[in-house]
Structure 1
Amino acid sequence: MPIDLLRQSARLGAWAVLGAGLCASAAVIPPGTPLAAKQEMVRNNGEEPESLDPALTESTAAGNILQDLFEGLTAVDDHGRVVAGVAQSWQQTDPATWVFKLRRDARWSNGEPVTAQDFVYGWQRLVDPKTAAPQGAIYGAYLLNGLAITQGRMPASALGVRAIDAGTLEVRTAGPLTFLPMLLVSPPFSPVPRATVEKFGRDWTKPGNMVSDGAYVLKDWQVNSKVVVEKSPKYWDAANVALTRVTYLAVADGNADLKLYQSGEEDMVLRLPPGTYASLKAQYPKDIHTSVLVAMRFYSLNTADPLLRDVRVRKALSMVIDREILAGKITADGQTALYGMTVKGSEGVDPVRYDWADWPMDRRVAEARRLLAEAGVKPGTRLGFVYNTSEYYKKMAIFTASEWKTKLGLDTGLDAMELKVLMRRSHDGNFQVGRKNWTPGYADITGFLQLVQCGAEENDSRSCNQAADDLIHQASALSDPARRKALMTQATRLEMDDYPMIPLLQMSVARLVKPWIGGYDDANDQDAFRSKDFYVIRH
């Protein structure tokens, strides 16, 4: 995302009026493009969404659908740029205060206007402990009093957000925050229809009950099969939305996904099966797309586990995994080896990587064996490894288990399960090593540090480096970007040296998209594609 543009457009005391470079319109169809009579698309989403309640979701599978159903103050277009959503302009009045002006034509799918109070209700609900939002504390930490509310020390009404009037929202942050417009694209910051929630309770997200403010409305939801959305006639930009119907499939197996694409039953795969990139690129040169993301694949290490409590064990496990082979031969889809928590595109931090990353593998293995011996870990010791059902993640897991077996003499038990089960077990601490991906949705390093901060909801490793936490809090209170960056870099190094995770790959997405689907941009480094930006070309 263009953070420099955001900083320029959020200068103190000046309205960030959105112009041509930060437009809010939907599909941009080149003049003269012949469109198909039937504007419908089928895309694989990979997994069953755990919910379609913006406050109760955390998976990419849910986020992909939610960005169609709901629209927050800001959004991400097909190029990966932050654009206007319900807010048509915003102003940072001081380092910790923002004011958003809402567009007057924003409407819920029932025709009622979207107001500033709808955001107040949605955000207060997000941080209210009664909601049990999985990411309430993560996002609440950026807002004034947000953490205290999630911890039950203050009422939800104390959150730093208020409706000045129906069309004006004031947001007060926990400290200086230059990247708030980027942060607010995340689905948990969506407005929520209070009357609908109170009427239907947990059933408010079912087809026929849901009221939403996005470009699409929920038409059908068949569990473990598909979610269907249809164009909303009440959406403020409906005139520029081309697709009238989008079907999200829940196909976890990459090979099954590919077969559906090849048979013409879907228009976009989720990702290519491992090892197929080269052959598919040659077979479908017009269909192949690859995007490098501000995201990473990693393994979470449960530091509360008796075996993994020792940092020497965690370090040894990380040192011996050959990321180059993993990237080049196992996933083989354009991803790059990662030896730290800073990926290319990270902002607010200097690049940090492990010194041993440049050692030859035999030296790394020797050091890892020495660390295990010091920690009293003997050959034949068993590790448990959990991952969600997918051929892609299975191959990664088998490779990792082989690395630990051949280089360290450790035995790894592999346990595959549904994504929602994996997430629950990870959050409950019921694992030793767990597969995880992370796309924070914004480029600032805090999006990655929240994975390891003390007590953070996404910190499945149960790690806590108080010195690093103190640096993060100090940095978050600074307005000087250079000083903030220096402290965040120190904190990142401290967190990495604790080895609460094993960074593996900077994520990229390689997929097939039918040549007649317009609006797909490989430059999108968030892999966030709203259906409103797509259109079907006559073919």
Structure 2
Amino acid sequence: MNHTHKTVAAVAVTTLFSTLVLGFQATPALADAKTINWTQSSDLMTMDPSQAADVSSSQLISQAGQGLYRMGKNGDVKFADAKSVETSKDGKTWTFKLRTDLKWSNGDPVTAQDYVYGWQRTADPKNESTSASLMTNMVGANDLISGKVTDSNTLGVKALDDHTLQVSLLTPEPILPQVLVGTAFYPQNKAFVEKAGDKYGTTADDSLSNGPFVLKGWNGSNKAYDLVKNPDYADAKKVKPNKVAFQTVTDSTTGYNLYQSGKVDFTTLTATQVKTAKENKNFRELKSARTEYLAFNVKKGVLASKDARQAMQYVIDKETMVKRVVTGSGANSTTFTPMDVAKDPKTGKDFADVYKTNFTSYNKKKAQTLWYKALKASGQKAVKLTLLTDNDDGSKTQAQFLQSQLQKLDGLQVTVKSEPKPARVKNMLSSNFDMVLTGWSGDYADPLSYLGLWTTGAKMDFGQWSNKDYDAAVHAAQSTDALDKTKRMSDLGKADQVYQEDVPAVTLYYPASATLFNKEVTGVQVNTVGAQFDFTKAVKK
């Protein structure tokens, strides 16, 4: 999942990949004791599981739908629509049995055919799914995603009957259950999708649920909408809240004031607000398995130069950015894979510690030398570049800091262009930018969930970068070395180091969002990978 949306709630963190359940002592109740009032820092863009490319959309889709598995407590996955699974001896064939009591919110049964159709839509390049790369180990997926083959029936997923789904892989994939939690692997109702046509997922009325909640009141552009308990959900009796009300708040002052006046139960804070809010008993901070980064379009002028990209990486003082711009709500980044995602089997140390390099350190002198070299090779004395970012307060503040850092390079002029998130994402995915400030939250707890973004031709490789050594390392981790934990991790470590040296993007920091969270709201499950919040057990006193 992509983007600079930094929502988070609150409790002490023991390990990053734990799943937390928020529960606190009671404080005076807000006006409506039944409705949980939530804020998001960017607009809802789509309810189409195959097209979700942002955190806000993925968050809502994860509550209105579900797949074969859901994320459970402590970072473990649990069966959802599936009730059992059998794997072949070679580990390449997985056969799932579905529950027989599954229904869509229109009353239709959820079947194995719905899973086949949903996965085929994700693999179809017409839908431009940013999560299609998660399917590359499925038989037939690569040719479908690339457009070499158009017959969706060649994808390695079949409905053996209404309640039996068979998945065929190219190589064994022990982490498949974690991968299948993602929204890209949700079922989709073919009759409903085809009737809605191009409107599918663009409004609440043009969306369909098989999960705990149903979306209400979203017309495709408004900033307030609700998740209402789904009476057709198979486990509806276990869903506690009747309604979770959402609203988009891009202005941090507005969010802060709404919280202070008791109109919302949750809001994120800016660096300035953190200084005054830290003493508030409802202040909470939570790390997430996310990397914030500055991506380059390597097809644009001087950015095609490795020397130029390395210079820009060296010149950014990331420690200062963490301390002063995000007020300590995060950690200085080294690898593209965040801290606490994985341990190196050989050493037992964190992946990020084992595979970090000096390429990501701050070195202004070296930066200037490399920059002069790049300018000379390009025949230019000065360069103008535009930095694209979202128009929320936090993103604009970070972009302005990066602008000041980059302009320490002689002859470089940077203009900041802030846009509403839908426009920014559209331009980003269309490679219509010089530099873009964005971020990535892993779909599951493994380096591949991050490093898969940068393989040649991947949808999220919007900077159009390609490196044969990188591709070879990732491929080895997914194929010949897939069952050898030590070799597989070494392959992924090599890929991350190639990324650090060739610099398709500058990793900036691993975020931890500062928030105000009403202690009257208990039972919200907070995940560090995938959709961050699960409201099924939430209660507001």
Give the structure-2-normalised TM-score: 0.87
- Structure 2 residue aligned with 1:218: 215
Aligned 8 A contact 1:277 1:333 in 2: no
Tell me, in whole angstroms, the C-alpha distance in 1 between the residues paired with 2:301 and 2:47. Answer: 37
Would the aligned equivalents of 1:137 and 1:147 in 2 still touch at CA under 8 Å? no
Q: Does 1:397 align with 2:396?
A: no
In structure 2, the partner of 1:102 is: 98
Q: Match of 1:253, as an amino acid?
A: D
Equivalences for 1:195-206 in 2 at 5 Å? Answer: 195-205=191-201, 206=203
Q: How many Å apart are 1:255 and its aligned residue?
A: 2.2
Quick check: 1:96–1:174 contact (8 Å CA) kept in 2?
yes
Match of 1:262 in 2: 260
Unaligned runs of 5+ in 1: 1-26
Question: Partners of 1:83 and 1:28 in 2: how far apart?
Answer: 20
8 A Cα contact 2:375 2:381, kept in partner: no
Residue aligning to 2:536:
532
Q: Equivalences for 1:403-422 in 2 at 5 Å? A: 403-406=405-408, 408=410, 410-422=412-424
Match of 1:440 among 430, 435, 442: 442
Equivalent residues of 1:291, 1:525 under 8 A apart: no
Give 2:159's aligned amino acid. Answer: A
Aligned residue type for 1:369: Q
Report the 3-state secondary structure (helix = DSSP H, G, I; strand = E; otherwise coil) of the residue aligned with 2:524. coil
Q: Does 1:172 align with 2:168?
A: yes
State the distance in 1 between where 2:367 and 2:27 align: 59
Contact 1:348 1:445 in 2 (8 A): no
Q: Any idea what the Cα deviations from partners look like across 1:368-411, whole Å, max 9, x if unmatched?
A: 11111111266753221000101101111111111122354522
Q: In 1, Cα distance between the equivalents of 2:200 and 2:356?
A: 46
Name the stretch that deviates more: 235-244 or 32-41: 32-41
Question: 2:225 is paired with a residue of what secondary structure?
Answer: strand
Q: Which residue of 1 aligns with 2:523?
A: 519
Shift of 1:198: 1.9
2: distance between equivalents of 1:521 and 1:76? 9
Change beyond 3 A, Cα 1:209–1:340:
closer
Asked if 2 retains the 8 angstrom alpha-carbon contact of 1:175 and 1:476, the reply is yes
Deviation at 1:281, TM superposition (A): 1.8
Q: Which of 290, 295, 298 does residue 303 from structure 1 map onto?
A: 298
Q: Is the 8 A contact 1:299 1:503 kept in 2?
A: yes
Query: Residue 178 of structure 1: SS of its match in structure 2?
Result: coil
| Matching of residue 239 in structure 1 with residue 237 in structure 2 | yes
- Cα offset, 1:146, TM superposition: 0.8
Preserved CA contact (<8 Å) 1:216 1:232: yes
Does residue 510 (structure 1) correspond to residue 507 (structure 2)? The answer is no
Residue 187 of structure 2 aligns to a residue whose secondary structure is coil
The residue matched to 1:450 in structure 2 has which SS?
Answer: helix
**Equivalent runs, 1:119-198 vs 2, <5 Å:** 119-130=115-126, 132-135=127-130, 137-154=132-149, 155-198=151-194
* Alignment CA distance shift 1:214-1:33 (3 Å): farther
- SS of 2:218's equivalent in the other structure is strand
Structure 1 residue 52 corresponds to structure 2 residue 47: yes
- SS of alignment partner, residue 442 of structure 2: coil
Tell me how far apart the structure 1 counterparts of residues 422 and 408 of structure 2 sit (CA, whole Å). 32
SS in 1 for 2:304: coil
Give the residue type in structure 1 aligned to 2:522.
G
Stretch of structure 1 that moved more, 192-201 or 405-414: 405-414
Verify the 8 A CA contact 1:78 1:519 in the aligned structure 2.
no
- Quote how far apart the aligned CAs of 1:293 are: 1.4
Return the offset for 1:526: 5.0
Q: Which segment is superposed worse, 34-43 or 191-200?
A: 34-43
Structure with the bigger RCO (C-alpha within 8 Å, sep 6+) is: 2
Equivalents in 1 of 2:359, 2:141: separation in Å?
Answer: 39
Against the structure 1 CA distance between its residues 290 and 96, is the aligned structure 2 distance closer, same or farther, given a 3 Å change threshold?
Answer: farther
Is 1:425 the counterpart of 2:423? The answer is no
CA contact (8 A) 1:136 1:150 kept: no
**Which whole-Å CA distance do the structure 2 matches of 1:237 and 1:156 have between them?**
32
The answer to whether the 8 A contact 1:291-1:523 is kept is no
Q: Distance in 2 between matches of 1:502 and 1:209?
A: 39
Kindly provide the CA deviation profile for residues 410-448 of structure 1, in whole angstroms up to 9, marking residues without a partner as x: 221010001111111112221111011100211211111
Aligned 8 A contact 2:67 2:187 in 1: yes
Deviation at 1:212, TM superposition (A): 1.3
Match of 2:3 in 1: none
* Count of residue pairs brought into register by the alignment: 505
* Counterpart for residue 493 of structure 1: 497
The equivalent residue for 1:366 is 365
One-letter amino acid matched to 1:216: F
1:513 deviates by 1.2
In structure 2, relative to structure 1, the CA distance for the partners of 1:388 and 1:224 (3 Å cut) is farther
CA distance in 2: counterparts of 1:345 and 1:289, whole angstroms: 20
Report the CA distance shift for 1:526/1:197 in structure 2 as closer, same or farther (over 3 A). Answer: closer
Distance 1:195 1:357, change over 3 A: closer
- Superposed displacement of residue 220, structure 1: 0.9
Q: 1:145 to 1:388 in 2, by over 3 A?
A: same
Q: Secondary structure at the match of 2:139?
A: coil
Deviation string, structure 1 residues 233-283 (Cα, Å, up to 9, x no partner): 1111111111111122122222222221112111111x211232242120x
Which SS does the other structure have where 1:170 is aligned?
strand
Q: Deviations over 1:13-42 (max 9, x none)?
A: xxxxxxxxxxxxxx9999x99999842111
TM-score, with length taken from structure 1: 0.88
Using the TM superposition, give the Cα deviation of residue 449 of structure 1 relative to its aligned residue in structure 2, in angstroms: 1.3
Q: 1:57 to 1:308 in 2, by over 3 A?
A: same
Secondary structure of the 2:108 match is coil
CA shift at 1:524, angstroms? Answer: 4.2
Counterpart secondary structure, 2:375: coil
On the 8 A contact 2:27/2:520 being kept in 1, the answer is: no
Distance in 2 (alpha carbons) for counterparts of 1:379 and 1:331: 34
CA distance in 2, matches of 1:35, 1:255: 23
**1:23 corresponds to:** none
Match for residue 456 of structure 1 among 451, 455, 458: 458
Aligned to 1:320: 315
Report deviation, 1:334: 2.0
Matched-pair contact (CA < 8 Å) for 1:79–1:524: no
Q: Is the 8 A contact 2:217 2:225 kept in 1?
A: yes
| 1:308-387 alignment, distance < 5 Å | 308-347=303-342, 350-351=351-352, 352-357=355-360, 364-376=363-375, 380-387=382-389
Q: Distance in 2 between matches of 1:49 and 1:522?
A: 20
How far, CA to CA, are the matches of 1:460 and 1:451 in structure 2?
9
User: Which whole-Å CA distance do the structure 2 matches of 1:207 and 1:457 have between them?
Assistant: 27
What is the root-mean-square deviation of aligned Cα atoms in Å?
2.7
In 1, distance between residues paired with 2:291 and 2:75? 17
- Residues 100-138 of structure 1: per-residue CA shift (max 9 Å, x gap): 2222222211233211111011111221234x2332532
**Contact 1:77–1:529 (Cα < 8 Å) also in 2:** no
| SS of the residue 1:163 aligns to | strand
What is the CA–CA distance in structure 1 between the aligned matches of 2:463 and 2:334, rounded to whole Å? 18
Same amino acid, percent of matched pairs: 25
Contact 2:22 2:525 in 1 (8 A): no
Mapped partners of 2:390, 2:283: distance in 1: 26
Partner SS, residue 407 of structure 2 = helix
Shift of 1:503: 0.1
The residue type paired with residue 372 of structure 1 is W
CA 1:129/1:355 → structure 2, altered by over 3 Å: closer, same or farther? closer
Residues 525 and 186 of structure 1: CA distance in aligned 2, closer, same or farther (over 3 Å): closer
